[in-house]
Amino acid sequence: MKMRLLSRKATCNTHGQDSSYFLGWQEYEKNPYDEVLNPKGIIQMGLAENQLSFDFLESWLAKNPDVAAFKRDGKSIFPELALFQDYHGLPAFKKALVDFMAEIRGNKVTFDPNHIVLTAGATSANETLMFCLAEPGEAFLLPTPYYPGFDRDLKWRPGVEIVPIQCTSSNNFQITEAALQQAYQEAEKRNLRVKGVLVTNPSNPLGTTMSRNELNLLIDFISDKDMHLISDEIYSGTVFSSPGFVSVMEILNENNSLKDQVWDRVHVVYSLSKDLGLPGFRVGAIYSNNDTVIDAARKMSSFGVVSSQTQYLLSAMLSDKKFTRNYITQNQKRLKRRQRMLISGLQKAGISCLESNAGLFCWVDMRHLLQSNTFEAEMELWKKIVYDVRLNISPGSSCHCTEPGWFRVCFANMSEQTLELAMKRLKAFVVELTANGCSQSRTEFSSWNSKRKSLPKWVFRLSSRDREQEEP
């Protein structure tokens, strides 16, 4: 088909899929591990899914068959749910969702169901907010390292530019005033108008919660610069160790003087994809006290509505307070146990990670395994781990980390047995690599070169591509 017959959006290359983050997924799908059918396949450790508590959800469904069968008081409501529903969302579900959000936050904050907009996941929520808050070519500041999908969600259709707030391991990647100001000045040098800051709290990929000092710093910053703050709190229910989770809404409620200034410029994104482990249900939300933003986002939500059947089922589940209370507690215990398993396995392989208290992953330090302190060396190490060790993990460069050698490793999307196998593979690899003095043997080069023919051409530009995306 002639390219001139297609739109610029269809033919542009700004989706971000040529990142090593997405390439790892593609390679896993070509050779997925299966205990019986493909025991030598690639183990997926690059996907932040929570599969640890499905038994609680399935048990609830078994005890509430009428809900799963779309019945109310024993009578079918299927026709009611199957017909057109206002894209404002079912009132019962919005009420149940905001109550669940408050419960996760220890009921220290409350949410008004009239100020929530339902979206098809957090991906849709973040993109919708970009359309509401910024024009194409304007910028948002994001602390590094950040979720690689933001390059797609913020930039591809909305056309928003991302300017990194450069955070480093020297202070465990916390946001500083100097880093904020430097990012803002960098945007000015590039003649970009900065419309706001976007953070994930708890952090993806760090697995850490933001401190009160960081949150207060951000509130002061957006107040001074007259801009917006988006707090993506999709992992808020996964916090399993101290310090606990502090929502930006809690900070606002504690500071009445600043609250009046920025109340309508702070927006929260949430989803049930991580806390309940339901990414396939596509349930996300925007919460904002800005009536104009809510009105605009609600109009846009018609392009990605949550089905009435999904809303009905989840409204009943989330309204069961005995269930939600038990689920939140037990899910956090399981996450903590699984995280400790990963850390223990890494330690046996001589690998450490950033101290974390939340999320479905660890931020793993493999700097000592690099041949040199470069992103090219990071990419070579990542290739060996994917193709020779057969573990799909995400390199730090795909998350725009400023330091080579960090990797995001997920732990909640597999069984304990699979995680143990992954750690055995990794330990064996490190032992061999260390014995070789971190040099690549002819055999390893041959193994990698044999795979080159089957890979997309852009694979071999990855180290420079990922690095270029983080530099102005």
Residue 445 CB coordination number (10 Å): 11
> Quick one: pLDDT at residue 313?
94
> Quick one: pLDDT at residue 201?
97
Share the mean pLDDT of the chain: 89
The CATH 3.40.640.10 portion of the chain extends over: 62-323
> Quick one: pLDDT at residue 451?
45
Give the contacts of 191 (CB within 8 A, at least 6 positions apart): none
- Tokens 């055995």: give the residue: 424
Burial class (CB in 10 A: 0-12, 13-18, 19+), 50: buried
CATH number assigned to the domain with residue range 3-53+334-470, chosen from the 4 options 3.40.50.300, 2.40.160.100, 3.90.1150.10, 3.60.20.10: 3.90.1150.10
Whether 33 is a known active-site residue: answer no
> Quick one: pLDDT at residue 437?
65
Percent of the chain with pLDDT over 70: 90
Percent of the chain with pLDDT over 90: 74
How big is the CA angle at 64 (ends 279 and 320), to the nearest 5 degrees?
70
> Quick one: pLDDT at residue 216?
94
> Quick one: pLDDT at residue 459?
41
Beta strands in 272-398 (DSSP E): 284-288, 352-353, 361-365, 391-392, 394-395
Give the helix/strand (H/E) hosting 321. Answer: helix 321-348
Burial class (CB in 10 A: 0-12, 13-18, 19+), 226: exposed
CB-side neighbour CA atoms (13 Å) of 468:
8
Whether the ω angle into residue 113 lies within 30 degrees of 0, i.e. cis, is no
Whether 108 is a known active-site residue: answer no
Q: Are 222 and 199 in contact (CB under 8 A)?
A: no
The CATH 3.90.1150.10 portion of the chain extends over: 3-53+334-470
User: What confidence tier does 196 reach under pLDDT thresholds 50, 70, 90?
Assistant: very high
Whether 226 is a known active-site residue: answer no
Mean of pLDDT values over 117-126: 94
The helix-helix angle for 177-189 and 212-225 (nearest 10°) equals 30
> Quick one: pLDDT at residue 414?
95
CATH of domain 62-323: 3.40.640.10
pLDDT at position 469 over 70: no
> Quick one: pLDDT at residue 15?
67
- The one catalytic residue among 147, 235, 287, 312: 147
- The one catalytic residue among 42, 222, 234, 343: 234
- pTM here is 0.89
> Quick one: pLDDT at residue 304?
84
Mean of pLDDT values over 168-177: 96
Which residue has better confidence, 409 or 8?
A: 409
Residue 304's identity, in one-letter code, is G
Task: Name the region of 240 (left: φ>0; alpha: ψ -120 to 50; beta: rest).
Answer: alpha
pLDDT at position 401 over 50: yes
From CA 264, how far away is CA 262, in angstroms rounded?
6
Whether 232 is a known active-site residue: answer yes
> Quick one: pLDDT at residue 74?
86
Query: Which pair of structure tokens corresponds to residue 465?
Result: 């591509």
Give the helix/strand (H/E) hosting 54. Answer: helix 54-63
> Quick one: pLDDT at residue 40?
95
> For the segment 47-62, what is each residue's pLDDT rounded down to a tens digit?
999 999 999 999 999 9
Query: Which pair of structure tokens corresponds to residue 87?
Result: 């894209």
Whether the ω angle into residue 143 lies within 30 degrees of 0, i.e. cis, is no
From CA 262, how far away is CA 243, in angstroms rounded?
26
> For the segment 276-298, what is each residue's pLDDT rounded down to a tens digit?
999 988 999 999 999 999 999 99
From CA 119, how far away is CA 293, in angstroms rounded?
14
User: What confidence tier does 226 reach under pLDDT thresholds 50, 70, 90?
Assistant: very high
- Tokens 């974390």: give the residue: 356
User: What confidence tier does 87 reach under pLDDT thresholds 50, 70, 90?
Assistant: confident
Beta strands in 120-156 (DSSP E): 139-143
